[in-house]
Amino acid sequence: MTDTREATVPDIGDFTDVPVIEVLVKPGDRVEKDQGLVTLESAKATMEVPAPFAGIVREVKVKENDSVSRGSVIALIEAGEGAASPPSPGGKGVGGEGPSPPQTSKSAEKVEAPKAEPAPARAPAPESDEKRAPASSASTRGGDIAPPRSPPIPFDADTVAPDKVPYASPEVRAFARELGVDLSRVHGSARGGRITKEDVQAFVKSAMAGGAPAQVAAAATGGGGLNLLPWPQVDFAKFGAVEEKPLSRIKKLSGANLSRNWAMIPHVTQHESADVTDMEAFRKQLGAENKDVKITPLVFLIKAVVAGLKQYPQFNASLDASGEKLVLKKYFHVGIAVDTPDGLVVPVIRDCDRKSLLELAMELGELSKKARDKKLSPNDMSGGCFSISSLGGIGGTSFTPIINAPEVAILGVSRSSMQPVWNGSAFEPRLMLPLSLSYDHRVIDGADAARFAAYLARVLGDLRRLLL
């Protein structure tokens, strides 16, 4: 007896009617648990809906450009390692057009796929088709193993309104990425506004002739507007033994974000130092009283940052898409950079102004674990107002963190150390915490940054100020 079940869209946060931009399997394909079935492109991120179990795809229920929400059925999968499979319907298969397999949804049991895997919002460097993982040549009893894929193509919701998701095939998207073209700016000439390769080419031509905004024209001509030399091509093996190791998916995606932010935001970093001797004594006392939760200096920093954002609202802001207006936020969601084996991610703790130190400590522990277990959802990583990047558990005396756009500032924290501090008549040993505040100089003046950083130092030096 066969065991055919439905694979459905899992919890994808607040999104509904999310477009399917790629169908990754066809009837007859053998899939492993967690292998991507389709790629969805929400307003915040691109995500794959993974297979909830291993088996043979019997029917694909969606096609490109369909819209799905939580619970929508993506495919019928016959569960199990040894599921017998009919031959794959010769190359045509995606979009559920192939012949229906014997088991249908009538007998299918609903199984929600594991949480969709998010991809940070920005495209990784394009990979040529040849460089992608080799297409499967292995034919198993169950059919073809769908080849491992390059990361989904992300969607930058910060520059594109959700109702303007660019309508283009994966090939056209890859082509646009290669040329550095933002598809949201390309007019689609095909039916229903679909963007063709020719549309992208025409756009690039127009950009080169000065018909597109400067940044796009610059990207399309390969220089990012900076008139840069090409990247050095070096055969390192000429100089000694080498080994090649592909960058992780998170590294590729966050790398693209970091490059954009570094290149497009005029960063300045203000360094400050806070006397945390008393704070540290209080932290130790709290830790002794609450052994079930780890209370690190970071939670005090979150509290101090929230107080700073209230005092200096221009730090709790973003430039709007036109770059001419500041959007001031009345909520206090703080992003925390978390180091994971695969790279950096920034989950967000919401409503930090309404949470106690202990609540923040618990949530920080949960989010860091979720990040390291690769379980963060797009929702966990969106909505941040300001980020903190703490390297205090590792070391260092200062660094220059990169702003997490569209935020306008980020606080870097290094390791506290005992320093001799002059108290007016003698040197006293005090525990000093180095702070590095990077800010977007288009939005924040140097004097305000110095005030904000000094304010943080004052609050951390005397936590009673949080009550003011």
Structural contact between residues 302 and 352, judged by C-beta atoms closer than 8 angstroms:
yes
Under the binding rule (CB under 6 A), the answer on residue 298 touching ligand CAO is yes
Q: Which of 145, 344, 421, 454 binds ligand CAO (CB under 6 A)?
A: 344
Q: For residues 320 and 306, what is the distance between their CA atoms, to the nearest angstrom?
A: 22
Structure tokens at 291: 């052994």
Nearer to ligand CAO, 121 or 174 (CB): 121
Q: Which of 118, 143, 297, 461 binds ligand CAO (CB under 6 A)?
A: 297
Q: Which of 336, 349, 362, 453 binds ligand CAO (CB under 6 A)?
A: 336
Distances (CA, A) of 232 to 120, 128, 228, 236, 458: 28, 19, 11, 11, 47
Nearer to ligand CAO, 186 or 364 (CB): 364
Q: What is the dihedral of CA 187, 192, 198, 202, to 10 degrees?
A: -20
Q: For residues 308 and 272, what is the distance between their CA atoms, to the nearest angstrom?
A: 14
Q: For residues 283 and 416, what is the distance between their CA atoms, to the nearest angstrom?
A: 14
Structure tokens at 11: 């919890």
- The interface region with ligand CAO, picked from 12-20, 179-187, 316-324, 336-344 by CB under 6 A, is 336-344
Under the binding rule (CB under 6 A), the answer on residue 93 touching ligand CAO is no
Smallest distance, ligand CAO to C-beta of residue 344, A? 5
Nearer to ligand CAO, 4 or 438 (CB): 438
The interface with ligand CAO within residues 370-399 (CB under 6 A) comprises 389-393
Question: What is the maximum alpha-carbon separation in the chain?
Answer: 89
The interface with ligand CAO within residues 176-235 (CB under 6 A) comprises none
- Candidates 273, 353, 348, 262; CA nearest to 305 is 353
Active site residue 187: no
Q: What is the DSSP-derived secondary structure letter of residue 447?
A: H
Smallest distance, ligand CAO to C-beta of residue 367, A? 8
Smallest distance, ligand CAO to C-beta of residue 90, A? 48
Nearer to ligand CAO, 68 or 338 (CB): 338
In three-state secondary structure terms, 285 is helix
- What's the half-sphere exposure (Cβ side, CA atoms, 13 Å) at 267? 23
Smallest distance, ligand CAO to C-beta of residue 365, A? 8
Q: For residues 421 and 411, what is the distance between their CA atoms, to the nearest angstrom?
A: 23
Residue 434, judged by CB atoms within 10 A of its CB (0-12, 13-18, 19+), counts as: buried
In three-state secondary structure terms, 298 is helix
Q: Which of 296, 311, 398, 419 binds ligand CAO (CB under 6 A)?
A: 296
Q: Which residues contact 287 (CB under 8 A, 6 or more apart)?
A: 294, 295
Under the binding rule (CB under 6 A), the answer on residue 12 touching ligand CAO is no
The interface with ligand CAO within residues 390-449 (CB under 6 A) comprises 390-393, 401-402, 413, 415-416, 433
- With CB under 6 A, what is the number of residues at the site for ligand CAO? 21
Structural contact between residues 15 and 42, judged by C-beta atoms closer than 8 angstroms:
yes
Q: Which of 11, 339, 353, 359 binds ligand CAO (CB under 6 A)?
A: 339
Smallest distance, ligand CAO to C-beta of residue 18, A? 30
Smallest distance, ligand CAO to C-beta of residue 349, A? 11
Active-site residue numbers? 441
Residues in contact with ligand CAO by CB under 6 A are 296-298, 336-339, 344, 364, 368, 389-393, 401-402, 413, 415-416, 433
